[in-house]
Structures are given as structure tokens and as C-alpha cells.
Amino acid sequence: MAATRNRKRSAPEQDDATTGGVKKRLRLGSIYDYRKLTVLGEGRDGVVFKAEHLRTGDMVAIKWVRAAADQRAFIREVGCLATCRGHRNIVVVRDVVEDASTGDMFIVTDFVGGRTLRLDLWMAHPDPEERARSVMRDLVAAAGALHAAGVMHRDIKPDNILVVNGGGLKLCDFGSATPVKPPGKPYEESRVGTLLYTSPEQLVDSEFYDPAVDMWALGCIMAEILTGGPLFDDSSEERMLKEMADMRHRLESTGTCKLFDELPELSAAGREVLAGMLAFNPDERMTAAEALDHRWFTGKPERRS
């Protein structure tokens, strides 16, 4: 199941820059300014490892993108990260370096800890709703910053969320991220990211979507925290689509579904946020700004129109 859950689709490149232009524009430093320590993880495009800057002694995390990978996708990833620089819930890009002898390139970010949310996602907690609220507050804030900056992540999942030493969360791995296009402009591929967190509109191969896809992924994570397991069975795209259709039918015909039946102790405010992020119609899906202003996060009474 773990291997299936993390199945990821690559994002096609949308930048026409040449590899040489990428390197010239970035003015890449050298990977030999850093000393590799331990491997933190391995993804589709390369390896992430902990390293030490030889001059300052700073601990960093470095994503190694092999020369054989799409170099234009690399510049897009760096650009999306840089656009969102400075938000406390988004990993900070510190440097971009290369190995001149191999052509490999590297993204250097702050080292915030070696653990992802996946490792403790289903740990027992005396107040599951309060834990979900704490986690989701950080994640929705990160999504809100991305979307305000005109960026979609397109692969939000527990494996791409770092648990910060000392508390808090940071969104990382922007390999599938892309600038948001104007309404009506299609994306080159609909199914980008990881199947289990893919929105309904992407699963039906729509190339017209928007940042609402990130909110759907956040709804899946919230459900996972509250129930202790994934929202859907991702054994196949067809199976997921059937489960989504069944869930939508029950919600529209009875006002409830299996997910909410499993959460009898979830507060009314919590249900509103969860249902809002998991709205099947992306135009009706709760935005990050709306979620952060909701009484489930603010503790304020519900606004009256």
C-alpha cells in the first residue's frame, strides 16, 4: 500500500529556457561548498540529503537533481520556491549549486528536521480534533501563501510536509509546483502529483483547474488525521473515481457519507471545514483564505450575513 500511496506523476515543463540559460540566470555555486552527511529521502528526480556548509557550519537539506532530469523543470521549481520565500510554513531556499563535472544541480534549503508528517500522521492523540486543527492551521496557511503568490503546489501530501524541530510544519518538495495560469488557460497535464491526493477534476482528465486542487489534497490529509487512514483506496484510478462518486451521491442525497459517519465526535465547525475542502465542485470548494477565517480556526462565532 505504501508504494501505491506514494505513486507520483511527473509534471511536464512549461518554461522554454535552455539548460545553458538556466545556469547563466541562476549563477550557480558549487556543491563542493558542502559536505554530505546523511540521506534523508529519495524521490522521482533525485535524492535529498543533509549536509553541512563548509565555511559557516550551517546544517542544510540538499535536493540533488541529476543531469538527466529535465533542467527546465528545475528552474521552475526554484522559481516557485523563491516566490514564496519567507513564509514560516514553507521551506526556505538558500542556494542553488551545481557539480560542474557532471552537470547535476542541487537545491539547498534550511534543514528543519529529518521527519515528515507521514511518520507520525496516525499517532494516537488525546484530542484528535485539536491535533487536526493544529496541523491544518499550518498547512492551510502555507497553501494560502502559495496561492496569494500565484503558485500551485500540486503535490501536497504528508511526505512533502516537514515536522520542524521545536514545533510547526513546513511544506517542501516543489517539484510539481507551477505558476497559476489565467482562467481558461489549460495546463499541459491534468494528473500531476500523487494519486491518493488527486482532486476529482484532475482524475477525470480536466486540464482546466486552479489552486482548488491543493485544497482538496488538504481535505484528504485532514480526513486522514481524523480517521487514522487514507480517505480513498488508491489501488486504481477507476476505484478512486467510484469511491468519490459514491461519496458524492450519499452527500447529495442524505447529507452524510461514510467519512462523516466515522467522525461522530467531530464538531460542527470541523465538519464545515472538512466538507468545504472536500467539495466535489472546485468552484464551491473552500479557499485557503476562507478556511483560515472560519470559526474552526479563529474560535470566533460564525458570521451572519
- Three cell numbers at 244? 468519490
Tell me which residue of 5, 142, 16 sits closest to 81, measured CA to CA.
142
Tell me which residue of 131, 146, 105, 118 sits closest to 20, measured CA to CA.
105
- Beta-carbon neighbour count of residue 265 at 10 Å? 9
Q: With 0-12 CB in 10 A as exposed, 13-18 as middle and 19+ as buried, what is 193?
A: buried
Distance, in Å, from the CA atom of 231 to the CA atom of 220, rounded to the nearest integer, reads: 6
Distance of CA 142 to the CA centre of its chain: 9
The pLDDT of residue 111 is above 90: yes
Residue with the bigger pLDDT between 51 and 12: it is 51
Distance, in Å, from the CA atom of 296 to the CA atom of 219, rounded to the nearest integer, reads: 14
The upper half-sphere exposure of residue 203, i.e. CA atoms within 13 Å in the direction of its Cβ, equals 23
The pLDDT of residue 22 is above 70: no
Q: For residue 201, what is the enclosing H or E element? A: helix 200-203
Distance, in Å, from the CA atom of 135 to the CA atom of 26, rounded to the nearest integer, reads: 34
Instruction: Please report where in the chains the cell 476505484 appears, as a residue.
Output: 239
List residues with catalytic annotation: 155
Q: With 0-12 CB in 10 A as exposed, 13-18 as middle and 19+ as buried, what is 154?
A: buried
Of 61-75, 110-124, 180-194, the poorest mean pLDDT is in 61-75
Distance, in Å, from the CA atom of 196 to the CA atom of 231, rounded to the nearest integer, reads: 8
Q: What is the pTM of this model?
A: 0.87
261-292, pLDDT tens digit by residue?
Answer: 999 999 999 999 999 999 999 999 999 999 99
Cα diameter, the chain: 64
204-238, pLDDT tens digit by residue?
Answer: 888 999 999 999 999 999 999 999 889 987 768 88
For the residues of 1-15, what is the DSSP string, one character each? Answer: -HHHHT-EEPPPP--
- Three cell numbers at 93? 531556499
Distance, in Å, from the CA atom of 7 to the CA atom of 277, rounded to the nearest integer, reads: 22
